[in-house]
Amino acid sequence: MFELSVESSFAAAHRLRNYQGKCEAMHGHNWRVVVSVAAPALDDRGLAMDFHDLKAVLTQALEPLDHTCLNDIEPFTNLNPSSENIARFLYGRLRDLLAPQPVRLQKVAVWESDSSCAAYYEQAGA
């Protein structure tokens, strides 16, 4: 099995609902997103997927979040825009965008700071 990862970022503000602390107030992050995909085989070029193509898919997935207030966009108008929920939201977008590719989405990790990250993945076959 081969695994590839690419990284990108977006800037957005949010506020956590029902949170007792500073993060309940509006604040922003330069979010970093790392996406990992897996492939059981390589193509005739010796690639699982072109990094450029994978990065383009990630850029497309992040576009609706960049320079927004996450609380103002679906699904975060009702869903708390936590790092965990952002990772799950991006996983769903990326899974759909990657469907025509010969790779399987493994994991989406969302970093809200240099030391804090949440990741989302699904069990194979689930």
Q: Is 52 one of the catalytic residues?
A: no
The number of folded domains in the chain is 1
Q: Is residue 126 part of a domain?
A: no
Q: Are 1 and 38 in contact (CB under 8 A)?
A: yes
Q: What is the CATH number of the domain that holds 24?
A: 3.30.479.10
Q: Is residue 55 part of a domain?
A: no
Cα–Cα distance measured from residue 88 to residue 61, given in angstroms and rounded to the nearest whole number: 12
How sure is the predictor about 29, in pLDDT bands with cuts at 50, 70 and 90? very high
Looking at residue 59, the DSSP 8-state letter turns out to be H
Cα–Cα distance measured from residue 113 to residue 92, given in angstroms and rounded to the nearest whole number: 23
Q: Is residue 62 part of a domain?
A: no
Structure tokens at 4: 């590839």
Give me the pLDDT at residue 33, please.
98
Q: Is residue 66 part of a domain?
A: no
Q: Is residue 73 part of a domain?
A: no
How sure is the predictor about 123, in pLDDT bands with cuts at 50, 70 and 90? confident
Q: Quote the mean pLDDT of the chain.
A: 96
User: Catalytic residue among 7, 23, 24, 63, which?
Assistant: 23
Q: Is residue 102 part of a domain?
A: yes
- Distances in Å between the Cα of 104 and the Cα atoms of 48, 61, 99 are 10, 16, 8
> Which has the closest alpha carbon to 5: 96, 94, 125?
94
Q: Is residue 56 part of a domain?
A: no
> Which has the closest alpha carbon to 2: 126, 106, 96, 87?
106
How sure is the predictor about 15, in pLDDT bands with cuts at 50, 70 and 90? very high
How sure is the predictor about 126, in pLDDT bands with cuts at 50, 70 and 90? low
Q: Is residue 59 part of a domain?
A: no
Q: Is 23 one of the catalytic residues?
A: yes
Q: Are 35 and 97 in contact (CB under 8 A)?
A: no
pLDDT exceeds cutoff 90 at 57: yes
pLDDT digits (tens, 9 = 90+) for 65-112: 999 999 999 999 999 999 999 999 999 999 999 999 999 999 999 999
Cα–Cα distance measured from residue 2 to residue 48, given in angstroms and rounded to the nearest whole number: 7
Supply the range of the domain harboring residue 108.
2-50+80-120
User: Catalytic residue among 7, 24, 63, 67, which?
Assistant: 67
